[in-house]
Structure 1
Amino acid sequence: MTTLRSPDGTRLAYVSVGEGPPLVCLPGGPMLPAEYLGDLGGVDAHRSLVLLDLRGTGHSAVPADPATCRCDRQVADVEALRAHLGLERLDLLAHSAGAALALLYAARHPDRVASLTLVTPSPRVVGLEVTDADRREVAERRRGEPWFAAAYAAFERIWSGGATDADWTAITPFTHGRWDDAVRAAVDRADAQRDADAAARYYGDGTPDPAAVRAALAELRVPVLLVAGEYDVALPPSRAAEYTDLFPGGRLVVQRGAGHHPWQDDPGTFVRAVVASPVRPGRADTGGR
């Protein structure tokens, strides 16, 4: 573990895993420690993964002002990490809610970004709507799963507006391409580390207007890879395609059989997508197993 200081003095921590050119990795959650990313299914065999614990998570310090955990206010932390690493430009990989921070960094510092890899990114920061109908279409594909009936019933209660906390827990299998003991254990570890207050601050009042973010990203002239999961109810493939179109250099890979954590569902396919040579913008690939 290595530490650095942010501009406001908050101590930030990161670990480097693997060999090769550095790939700075921003975790989701929001506000989960970066350890859940692991080696990203084996990407560390090709890249040195720089796994940053966002302020207030993992081994990074809790800031004196909790409001600085808002995603746009953490852009300065990523820029401090870039300077600390001595890199002119960053290759950034972000998962889920971590994409909000990555995209806000790219919007503010486009000249400091070499490439973006967005893994099942949250659509919130760009104002992309995912409807209940979108999620229902994806969920219906899982009817053959043994857990489907109970999980789908919980989803229906959520869609009707009558959900309980137990219902939100019950739909967890829909966010994974497979639902076995290893995945359940990973979910339990993440739940134990989850901080609801920190998560709420990440998307707190005052975050940038999505229209302004989209306008900035439309001018971003770097390769952008978006990896979506075929079974991801958080960002269904149809919405992932719309998301990818926001970037002039966007390329979409839809990983078959994958959910919200595609490196867990099929590491080999995920690694091939992430380390592949860039292809021309506008081409969509479908990752197989």
Structure 2
Amino acid sequence: MNNINIEKYRATKDFKISENETFGDFNRSDKELKKDLSKIRRELGEFQDTIYAHGKYSILVCLQGMDTAGKDSLIREVFKDFNVSGVEVHSFKVPTELELSHNYLWRHYLVLPAKGKFGVFNRTHYENVLVTRVHPEYILNEHIPGIHSVDDIDQKFWDKRFEQINDFERHLAENGTLIFKFFLNLSKEEQRQRLLRRLAIKEKHWKFSPGDLKERKLWSVYQDCYEEAISKTTHDHAPWFAIPADNKKATRVIVASILLQSLKKYKDIREPMLSEKIMANLDSYEEQLQSEQ
């Protein structure tokens, strides 16, 4: 498959979910899409080795989406050919008591990728303007000065959070972190089908929670919150991409392609050269090793 058009998926300042597709297949069969992904992720894995050797950039991949959007399987399939020491995955659940005793970005700072490595956030710091926006009572657990009740959490509060998140990401970008944020755009009907499969297949029962159905009733509220969060935090240094998520195989191909095509634009990412002194003595080093036989 030829390179995809990255701009087709890049979110803008006036981002609207309804204007973005939820299904894509490039007119290719599942078998062809699987083959496409195999090739792309192999190249990504090789490029990760170069990024590690170069040692000046870290890569942060952020995945957000409604329940059943396919985040876990995407991580498994897209990063399958990586050296395991070159990628770290972090899933952010309900904050612990320790995490709540710090500011809401603290736990994300702790696990940012080091230079030369990929970091994947499965659910991200955006939960703090999505889940907490839908359930503002959760904010009260953060014990923020001046916030005594849900009534104190107004639009100014959320605008300040967007500003803080933008500052957080700008700081990362200015210090060598390349940021990619993916919104997995799942249709409500496809989510229904995936929840039904979790109920129908015994091996998938563990994935189901009655809470999924409660959150599903708030679908439109979540969609509005996603639109505002993405619109207010997409930037050249930390872009959002809206990825159709109803077809998991195509979703993985799109995400992997965006990563590979974008990273290849950084022409300064290459293996470091050996010093002239070492290069001049390569034959001698080889002779030493050969003489050990």
- TM-score under structure 1 length normalisation: 0.29
Q: Which has the higher contact order (CA 8 A, sep 6+)?
A: 2
- TM-score under structure 2 length normalisation: 0.29
Larger strand share, 1 or 2: 1
